[in-house]
């Protein structure tokens, strides 16, 4: 596609529910990132994929958060047993650079806004 596509754009979940957020990066982009943006804050790094390999998951806040990119294109961020503090916008970004030669120019999707009641 022309840009990074994320779905759903808005998700309301009851506390304790599981949610799955999808990211469709720009075609051919090797690197894919997930960020979490709380209200009034800047995005914070969650995890990074190079093709299908998850090379960095140091930003995932707990073991309730899980991300995958099984075929090196579409990625899913799953949050189990959601809590109120998980309420945030989840941003996906991609580019065609590999780790070690990456300059930080990322193409972002519009984000998925998660509200946990």
Partner 1 sequence: GNSVTQMEGPVTLSEEAFLTINCTYTATGYPSLFWYVQYPGEGLQLLLKATKADDKGSNKGFEATYRKETTSFHLEKGSVQVSDSAVYFCALSSSGYSTLTFGKGTMLLVSP
The contact set with partner 1 (CB under 8 A) reads: 3-4, 31, 33, 35, 40-45, 48, 56, 91, 93, 95, 97, 99-111
Nearer to partner 1, 11 or 82 (CB): 11
List, in order, residues 6 or more apart from 100 with CB less than 8 Å away: none
CA quadruple 78, 5, 95, 73: dihedral, nearest 10? 60
Q: Answer whether 116's CB lies under 8 Å from 14's CB.
A: yes
Smallest distance from partner 1 to CB 33, Å:
7
Residue 14 vs 28, nearer CB to partner 1: 28
Cβ proximity to partner 1: between 35 and 116 the closer is 35
60: CB partners within 8 A, 6+ apart: 46, 47, 66, 67
Minimum distance from residue 37 beta carbon to partner 1 (Å):
8
Instruction: Name the minimum Å distance from CB 30 to partner 1.
Output: 11
The first and second tokens of residue 98, run together, are: 């590999």
Q: Measured over all CA atoms, what is the biggest interatomic distance in the chain, rounded to whole angstroms?
A: 41
| Tokens encoding 106 | 């990322």
For the CB of residue 89, give the shortest distance to partner 1 in the complex, in Å. Answer: 10
Query: For partner 1, which is the closer residue by CB, 11 or 43?
Result: 43
């Amino acid at each position: 596609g022309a840009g990074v596509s994320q779905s759903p754009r808005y998700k309301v979940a009851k506390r304790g529910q599981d949610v799955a957020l999808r990211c469709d990066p720009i075609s051919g982009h090797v690197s894919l990132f997930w960020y979490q943006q709380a209200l009034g804050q800047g995005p914070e790094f969650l995890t990074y994929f190079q093709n299908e390999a998850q090379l960095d998951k140091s930003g995932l806040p707990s073991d309730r958060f899980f991300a995958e990119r099984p075929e090196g294109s579409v990625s899913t961020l799953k949050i189990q047993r959601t809590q109120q503090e998980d309420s945030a916008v989840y941003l996906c970004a991609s580019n065609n650079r590999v780790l070690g030669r990456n300059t930080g120019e990322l193409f972002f999707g519009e984000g998925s806004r998660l509200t946990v009641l």
